[in-house]
Amino acid sequence: MRKSYFNNIKLGIFVISGLIILILGLYYIGKDTNLFGKTYTLRVIIPDVQGLIAGNNVRYAGIQVGTVRSVEILSDTAIEVTMAIDEKMKIHIRRNDEVSLGSDALIGNRILIISPSQYGPHAEDGDILHAKPIISTNNMLEMAAQTNRNLVDISERLKTTVDNINNSTALWSMLRDPALPTNVRASIENIRLTTEKANLVASELQLILAGARAGKGTAGALLSDTSFAAELRNAVAGIHAVEEKAQNLAAELSTLSQCLQTDVQEARGPYYSVLKDTAQAAKINRTLTNIETGTASFNQNMEAMKHNFLLRGYFKKQNRQQEKETKRSMQN
């Protein structure tokens, strides 16, 4: 009887221990799925879940903060994923945080990753978060295949280029030329000298510009002289005035030329008489000849009057007066 009593005690202890272990195990298992904590719901709409199922983990900044509650298809391009998030994360997760797909390990279960943002209101129960553009494994493999094809194409072209270089007689003859290093060194030296001269010229230009800004030198004086601009404007205005007068003179000459041409064509006016009428031209020539003859006779008479004893004193007085004025002007 006493032995049966102890066996019952041992059995009770064993059953109680097993229940305690079972409860603790269920607690720790449910802790990751938030079965025993307060949660709130957030949603995200993505085009492809890539194997994500209910019960997968949700991480925020690398910390597990909840689980996937459900995955529902809205359309052929939109899948709504509902997340159960620990209520303690309300003060951290914001509405403009972005959600992306990830893996628990290299080939582990799919998880949702919430990337934190610095600004924006905090997310409330039922809010929809933004989804990052998703690059699937198939897309990555496609890109890798395209990259491999491009590499093959590049290698083929590179091979062709190398073959062309190897088969180029002119190129190899140029490379085998013993004078090539000397010429290259000479070219490099010329480039170096040219660069030094260019730097020297640039330095001198900088000094000239600095002096001009400081008002030194002719250029500086011109640039700093406030009256130079006014004088330049006056000179330009004078040039414009001369140009206008020249244009007016040209217009008057053109008008005069047209009048002369009209008079000559219509056989009228003094210009026609001078240029076309031979009889009138002969009269004018005779008149000019008579004027020259009369002028010569007048000069002879005047010379004779200078030697006349009655007028000789007057002309001598005039000559002395002219000599005095000439000397006075030369002294001044």
The secondary structure of 97-158 as a DSSP string is: -EEEEEESSSSS-EEEEEEP-SSSPBP-TT-EEEEPPP--HHHHHHHHHHHHHHHHHHHHHH
Q: How confident is the model at residue 12, as a pLDDT?
A: 76
Residue 259's pLDDT is what? 74
Question: Which positions ≥6 away from 42 have C-beta within 8 Å?
Answer: 82, 83, 85, 93, 123, 125, 126, 127, 128, 129
Give the span between the Cα atoms of 250 and 242, in whole angstroms: 12
- Report the C-alpha gap between 149 and 165 in whole angstroms: 24
Evaluate whether residue 313 is within a structural domain.
no
- Residue-level pLDDT at 110: 86
Q: Is residue 185 part of a domain?
A: no
Number of Cβ within a 10 Å radius of residue 278: 8
Q: Torsion over CA of 153, 154, 157 and 163, rounded to 10 degrees?
A: -120
Question: Which pLDDT score, from 0 to 100, does residue 231 have?
Answer: 74
Q: Do residues 88 and 108 lie in contact, with contact meaning Cβ atoms separated by under 8 Å? A: no
Instruction: Give per-residue pLDDT as tens, 130-153.
Output: 888 766 666 777 888 888 888 888
210-229 residues labelled b (16+ CB within 10 A) or e (exposed): eebeeeeeeebeeeeeeeee
Q: Is 48 helix (H, G, I), strand (E, B) or coil?
A: coil
pLDDT in tens, 311-321: 666 667 777 77
How much is the average pLDDT of 296-310?
Answer: 67
Which pLDDT does position 30 carry in this prediction? 52
Q: Please determine, for residue 1, whether its predicted confidence score (pLDDT) is greater than 80.
A: no
Most confident of 78-87, 167-176, 263-272, 277-286: 78-87
In a domain, 122, yes or no: yes
Number of domains the chain is built from: 1
- Residue scoring higher pLDDT (86 or 314): 86
Supply the pLDDT for residue 117: 83
pLDDT in tens, 174-186: 777 788 788 888 8
The reported pLDDT for the residue numbered 242 is 80
The 10s digit of each residue's pLDDT in 151-160 is 888 988 888 8
- Residue recorded with tokens 């404007």: 233
pLDDT at 72: 92
Query: Quick check: is 54 in a domain?
Result: yes
Residue of 92 and 181 predicted with greater confidence: 92
Residue 82, domain member (yes or no): yes
Instruction: Please tell me which residue, 151 or 283, carries the higher pLDDT value.
Output: 151
Q: Give the pLDDT confidence score for residue 137 in this predicted structure.
A: 64
CA distance 20 to 10: 15
Q: The pTM is what? A: 0.37
Rounded Cα–Cα distance for residues 326 and 332 (Å): 10
287 pLDDT above the threshold of 80: no
Q: Is 203 helix (H, G, I), strand (E, B) or coil?
A: helix
Neighbours of 170 (CB within 10 A): 7
What is the distance between the alpha carbons of residues 300 and 315, in angstroms, rounded to a whole number?
15
pLDDT at 81 over 90: yes
Question: At residue 34, does pLDDT exceed 60?
Answer: no
- The beta-strand segments (E) located in the chain are 39-46, 57-60, 63-75, 78-86, 98-103, 110-115, 128-131
What is the average pLDDT score of the chain? 78
**Residues making up the chain, counted from first to last:** 332
Q: List the domain range (segments joined by +) for residue 92.
A: 33-134
Give a yes or no: residue 273 inside a domain: no
Q: Is position 190 within any domain? A: no
- On the 0-12 / 13-18 / 19+ scale of CB atoms within 10 A, 67 is buried
What pLDDT was estimated at residue 44?
A: 93
pLDDT, position 35 = 53
| β-strand partners of 67 | 57, 84
- The 10s digit of each residue's pLDDT in 51-61 is 888 888 899 98
- Mean pLDDT, residues 115-135: 84
Residue 82 — pLDDT band, cuts 50, 70, 90?
Answer: very high
In this prediction, what percent of the chain has a pLDDT beyond 70? Answer: 74
| Position with higher pLDDT, 314 vs 326 | 326
Looking at residue 230, its pLDDT comes to 72
Tokens read off for 8: 């019952």
